[in-house]
Structure 1
Amino acid sequence: MLTTAPTQGSLPGTAQSAAPSAQITPTPAKQRVEWVDLAKGLTITLVVLLHAVGMLTRFDLAPEFWNGINGFVQPIRMPLFFVASGLFAQGMLRMTWATMLRSRVAHLFYLYTVWLLVFFVAHNLLPDPVAHGGYAKFSTVISGLVAPSSALWFIYGLAVFAIVAKAISRFPLAVQFGFAIALSISAYGSHFIFADLGFGWRNLGSYFVYFLLAVHAKPIIVKFSHLANGPRLLLALGAYAAVYVPIMVLNIVPLPELRLVVTTVGLLLGVLVASALVGTRAGNIFQKIGKRTLPVYVMMDILIALVVFAFIKASVVTSLPAVTVVAPLIVTALVVSGALALHTVLVRFGMNFLFELHPAIRGTAKKA
């Protein structure tokens, strides 16, 4: 799930596991948690990079090759994000409907609604060049309650995924995954209901299979993550390139449904990369970010707009070739660090309501 505070041994909002046996060495248990947080930090950083590149290239402040880089990591980014978000969500299936809807779904829909309103206010205040006209319309807030069409679609998706995963949990796994795969194929091909729905619902249809995979195949995914080493990383990268290039770049077989193959292979590569980064300097940075993904996710759109506007005003410097080449990295670093710092300040001033449904309403308040 999207997280707002550091985790210790498990992700927030999940049932705590029993204390490890004395016979179990601490390294695998430590790695299991660390690579998941790391994967979340890595993927949210890539999401910020995606949006930063989109706005920078619009103003010719970044070279086009960055779009190619985003395209290459796109089939890895969201499947890995949803797997990392669902890997410790098994407890929700054992909850009663009332408990799950109150503690998980209401919390997520609350966050989604609050930040729809924040987007509406912010984009009416942002300078015209970087304001999003759609977000500045109150009609978008209303329509967004039933059709996620903003950068917040991931939060909406987690709520929907929780409901659907629990609703189908009594069916055999073959039926559950058959449904999820059919949903993904339909979404990628824009078949049936997905022909008329916006990108948000298509994304939800495309990626539900990976959330379901995380919920039901945690031991397999964790065991696979322990295979990470240099040769296997190269093999996974080669396998990914072997499906990405002909399907996504060359379009040899013009079937968008084949993107499911690319995202699945991309997920395997992403898990190995995240696991391999554990303990490295870059991995430690991503791990820290991964423990507080929520503030980055909800604030990135507004902060990117502000930073890019500053780039526009400082075009004498930011238009220099040496700067434009790395501009997306600069913006991404400023936005991620700025979101985490701003979150700390907002919480310190008692504005927790921006990041969490009140514990008394959510049912997570400590008993006296």
Structure 2
Amino acid sequence: MSNDSQRLQWVDMAKGLSILLVVMMYSAFSVGEDTGQTGVLHWIIAFATPFRMPEFFAISGLFLSLVIARDWKPYADRRVLHYFYFYAVWAIIHLVFKVGLVAGDPAMALIDLAWAIAEPYGVLWFIYMLAVFSAVAKLCFTLRLPHWLVLALGAVLQIAPIHTGSYLIDQFAAYFVYFYSGYVFAPMLFKLVAWAQANIGMALASLVTWALVHAALVFSPGYAVLPGEIHMGLASLPVLHLLLALIGTAALCVIASLLTKLAFMDWLRWLGSKSLVIYLAFVLPMGIVRTLLIKFDLISNISVLSIVVMASAVISPVVLYWLVQWTGFGKFLFERPDWAHIPGTPGARRPRQQVSATPAE
């Protein structure tokens, strides 16, 4: 939801936690792969592995009920084209910079860009899949499929060992159930958060119990924390993994709701309100800072190095966003221009002859 006045603070706080976990994972793994070492961020990511991305998708589906009953055109503009626009803009930026300039292969950049239409590209896969999930959810609504059936099919896809080689298909199978769960179970989640805010002591006790059980399952025999990947213990078992993801999502939302009680944590809520900005723009500064720090051996401690890389990856998009707002140049990076709307939808460019006849509202 675009206006701060329409937001629930805990939702933005949950998004803030989510985007930090996402950036943390990419920072820790990229540093780990370059150095062959693991640090403290790897262990945090290991704990969060079952719910890190499921929570992000579930939160994205929370307010779907407000728009899903609309006609296809306005719905597609807001929930499908919106994400595809930002995906396209930043896929071009990534490929031009990383493949065209750094690798010096413009031809391959064009080939990769063509493939990016059919297959989600790099870290931007999340934005791509949000558009796909929104379209599929709307199709299910149009066909009047019962929630239990869609959830059951989504759960089957998540549990099944689907590895087709197509990132689009595999990621759809792995995460659609969480997006749809956010849509279906939103009323229950809101009630849980309200209860937690009214019963802080019991909520904290429940969170401690959850964290201990969750950690025991993640770090049970068979787990491995490696420089570029995490292997869970019992938590990796199919059905259990799904349950831990849903329970972890609820736990993170409760944590977010309690953090809203702390005024000094409001920075995290603000970051959450700009989570899309950070997600779109964190990769390039993360790669540049990581490469320079490792090349010149400026930080030897792997944990400190990972934290510095992560901090730069979070702060840089915020600085870029402020510069865009201050100068007015480059707003297309974070705001969809009127020409990128479906004609006839809110925000779309109006025919010249109709502009003066349209009353201000």
Into which bin does the TM-score normalised by the smaller protein fall?
Answer: 0.7 to 0.9
**Equivalence for 2:56:** 81
TM-superposition CA deviations, 1:255-278 (whole Å, max 9, x none): 445421221222122122212211
TM-superposition CA deviations, 1:194-228 (whole Å, max 9, x none): 43323x54233222112112212211001112343
Unaligned runs of 5+ in 2: 197-202, 224-231, 349-357
Q: Is the 8 A contact 1:180 1:208 kept in 2?
A: yes
Q: Is the 8 A contact 1:243 1:262 kept in 2?
A: no
* TM-aligned CA deviation for residue 161 of structure 1: 0.9
1:55 aligns with 2:30: yes
**Equivalence for 1:196:** 165
RMSD: 2.8
Q: Distance in 1 between matches of 2:81 and 2:269?
A: 27
Q: Is the 8 A contact 2:39 2:303 kept in 1?
A: no
Change (3 A) 1:126 1:223: farther
**Equivalence for 2:41:** 66
* TM-aligned CA deviation for residue 42 of structure 1: 1.1
Unaligned runs of 5+ in 1: 11-32
Q: Is the 8 A contact 1:44 1:297 kept in 2?
A: yes
Q: Is the 8 A contact 1:39 1:274 kept in 2?
A: yes
* TM-aligned CA deviation for residue 93 of structure 1: 1.2
Q: Is the 8 A contact 1:53 1:62 kept in 2?
A: no
Change (3 A) 1:136 1:68: farther
**Equivalence for 2:303:** 325
**Equivalence for 2:328:** 349
* One-letter amino acid matched to 2:165: D
* One-letter amino acid matched to 2:299: T
Q: Is the 8 A contact 1:41 1:291 kept in 2?
A: yes
Change (3 A) 1:101 1:264: same
Change (3 A) 1:222 1:239: farther
**Equivalence for 1:365:** 347
**Equivalence for 1:212:** 180
Q: Is the 8 A contact 1:295 1:343 kept in 2?
A: yes
Q: Is the 8 A contact 1:112 1:152 kept in 2?
A: yes
TM-score, normalised with respect to structure 1: 0.81
Q: Distance in 2 between matches of 1:134 and 1:243?
A: 47
Worse-superposed segment, 226-235 or 165-174: 226-235
Change (3 A) 1:344 1:252: closer
Q: Distance in 2 between matches of 1:340 and 1:135?
A: 32
Change (3 A) 1:330 1:111: same
Please, which of 275, 279, 287 is the counterpart of residue 305 of structure 1? 287
Worse-superposed segment, 346-355 or 37-46: 346-355
Q: Aligned with 1:364: secondary structure?
A: coil
* TM-aligned CA deviation for residue 308 of structure 1: 0.8
TM-superposition CA deviations, 1:150-175 (whole Å, max 9, x none): 10011111101111111112111211
**Equivalence for 2:226:** none
Change (3 A) 1:220 1:74: same
